[in-house]
Structure 1
Amino acid sequence: MNYVRTGLLLAGLTALFGAVGMMIGGQQGMIIALLFAAAMNVFAYWNSDAMLLRMRGARQVDERTAPELVAMVRDLSRNAEIPMPKVYIIENPQPNAFATGRNPENAAVAATTGLLKLLDRNEIAGVMAHELAHVKNRDTLTMTITATIAGAISALANFAMFAGMFGGNRSENNNPLGGIGMILIAILAPMGAMIVQMAISRTREYDADRIGAEICGHPMWLASALAKLDKGVHAIPNMEAERNPATAHMYIANPLSGKGVDNLFSTHPNMANRIARLQAMANGGGQPREMTSQPQPSKKGPWGAGAPTRQAPASPRRTRNRPWN
């Protein structure tokens, strides 16, 4: 259902772009704006992952520097049937994580030191599975397409504002509402595009929660992690994210000021709603599969030594081994 909703929202965003473009500049103006926005977002698509990781001061880790975390991501990637992504750690006290990369073959997952200190191994596995679900779903591509169309609408809106203020009677030739109508379009069109863009982001989070629970095999691992993250992100500010709020939708938890409900301007679903869905999944509303992959020889798996078993995991509060030490 979320895939259908995403498709409908993308169609609506495209229709909004077409209507605004035709009203302001006709077919030629619409095509020019789309090409300009597409060029900007193509560059972002190929370079945004490296730019984002560099902006956040992320450092790549491997089997030597973070053996258990890397082994965990490898095991989960195998279960998700996607290539092993690069693994990064960010020195930031706010507990959070995100995935980036233009496709599963060029992906990366990153976790903050705050998340690694706050969560136990099972909860970290739930979070990493959620991020791998974003990679598996190619959500980066979906949000790039969304950003392309939204960027084109913003470009048209800027033109509309200029035309409405300085175009005089010429604006009335293309827009029956005249100069005032152009100014209204300049204000309302980007707002509508932003609402649709955030709605698409929320649907992708719900899907990543569901598929992430299937990847790790235990919905309550992710549910428990989300409950802790909800408190952690409110208690500890993320100044880097505050300075660059455009990337907030990439995190598993909103790094900016939290929202009490699923309102139109929220990039993330309400945490209580996400946790409730995972609890329903754990209680039979969609059964996740168990972990089936085997750990590497002489490597300690993310849930302890030896192969994962099909029995219930040990209580997370009894096992506090850290995969980043």
Structure 2
Amino acid sequence: MYTKWGMTIRKIFVYGTLFVLLFLAVGVLIYFNVSPFLIALLSGGFLFIQYFFSDKLVLWSTGAKVVKDVEAPALHAIIEKLCSQMGLPKPRIAIMQNDMPNAFATGRNRKNAVVAVTTGILRVLNERELEGVLAHELSHIKNRDMFVVTFASFVVSLVSFVIYILLSSFMARGSDSSYGSSYTAWMISILLSNTLGVILVNTISRYREYGADRGAAYATGNPDGLINALKKISGARYSPSSVSSLTSAKCLCIQSLTGRGLMELFSTHPPIEKRIAELERIRSEIRGY
């Protein structure tokens, strides 16, 4: 994928502005001696919203639209068949106008789940390959992966808060400014949560992808469908707008939106070649040779 610097600069500006606003808000709370426990409560509130309204937030941010049986009969038929095989209630189904072949699952539990696909993936994959991708997404729902990711994020936030409390208490002993020490401690805790914390959450996410691949292989009895799908959807170049519109669902997508090498630590997905190698091993496992 290539980088469009105009869009990248705008994203950095937006994220930077949000980052500054976050620090200003925390600074004001600390300056007025607001209890740190209230700050933690507010953080917990954001996590609550993220978990219980995840489906609505992701659908809204990606522009995916829920479709009925008559609007996408073939797609509904495949998912109904897979849900019957996997013992799952049928989720809502959504389609996103996006050229990038991708799919994602969201929702807080099996009864409130949504499986979404892009128009790009419907155009590129055949029925067997699409079945493998959809089985992968349904495996995320069956394994309650949305809860796992949200819980991991909560743990990282909690650890960050504890680090803040410990650092602010330690630094306040040798400082004349409680505001300055508290603010510095908060900055350090945020820095740690956005480096080590992100690495931890994304490591969990990568293992979650392997689990969904395995679930799809066994659910369909045909690992080759997902293998061929991964080969088709990987490596191609897509417009920055197609990629950026899926950013909010990057932990849930079938295809990674991030890099390789050292950057794999910050990726939500394993490299495609590693996933294919594991699926080929599972294929031998299923076939018994």
| TM-score for the superposition, normalised by structure 2 | 0.76
Q: Are residue 131 (structure 1) and residue 137 (structure 2) matched?
A: yes
Partner of 1:5: none
Partner of 1:310: none
Partner of 2:272: 271
Task: Name the CA distance, whole Å, in 2 between partners of 1:180 and 1:55.
Answer: 33
Residue 162 to residue 238, structure 1, CA distance change in 2 (3 Å): farther
Unaligned runs of 5+ in 2: 1-34
Q: Deviations over 1:202-244 (max 9, x none)?
A: 0100000000111111011101111111123xx1135265267
Partner of 2:208: 204
Partner of 2:27: none
263-272 or 93-102, which moves further after superposition? 263-272
Alignment of 1:1-325 (within 5 A): 32=38, 34-154=40-160, 169=175, 184-232=188-236, 235-237=237-239, 239=241, 241-242=243-244, 245-254=247-256, 256-260=257-261, 263-284=264-285, 286=286
1:146, distance to aligned residue in structure 2 (A): 1.3
Q: Deviations over 1:187-214 (max 9, x none)?
A: 3343111110010100100000000111
Secondary structure in structure 2 of the residue aligned to 1:94: coil
1:181, distance to aligned residue in structure 2 (A): 7.7
Secondary structure in structure 1 of the residue aligned to 2:265: coil
Secondary structure in structure 1 of the residue aligned to 2:266: coil
Q: Deviations over 1:58-101 (max 9, x none)?
A: 12222211111100000001111010011111100000000011
Task: Name the CA distance, whole Å, in 2 between partners of 1:53 and 1:161.
Answer: 39
Residue 203 to residue 30, structure 1, CA distance change in 2 (3 Å): farther
Instruction: Answer yes or no: is the 8 Å Cα contact 1:126–1:212 preserved in 2.
Output: yes
Task: Name the CA distance, whole Å, in 1 between partners of 2:184 and 2:274.
Answer: 41
Q: Which amino acid aligns with 2:273?
A: A
272-281 or 53-62, which moves further after superposition? 53-62
Q: Deviations over 1:160-179 (max 9, x none)?
A: 8999999961689xx9xx99
Task: Name the CA distance, whole Å, in 1 between partners of 2:186 and 2:43.
Answer: 20
Residue 64 to residue 155, structure 1, CA distance change in 2 (3 Å): same
Residue 61 to residue 244, structure 1, CA distance change in 2 (3 Å): closer
Residue 262 to residue 39, structure 1, CA distance change in 2 (3 Å): same
Secondary structure in structure 1 of the residue aligned to 2:114: strand
Instruction: Answer yes or no: is the 8 Å Cα contact 1:163–1:171 preserved in 2.
Output: no
Residue 244 to residue 128, structure 1, CA distance change in 2 (3 Å): closer
Task: Name the CA distance, whole Å, in 2 between partners of 1:47 and 1:199.
Answer: 24
Partner of 1:14: none
| TM-score for the superposition, normalised by structure 1 | 0.68
Secondary structure in structure 2 of the residue aligned to 1:249: coil
Secondary structure in structure 2 of the residue aligned to 1:143: helix
Unaligned runs of 5+ in 1: 1-28, 289-325
Task: Name the CA distance, whole Å, in 1 between partners of 2:99 and 2:261.
Answer: 23
Secondary structure in structure 2 of the residue aligned to 1:109: strand
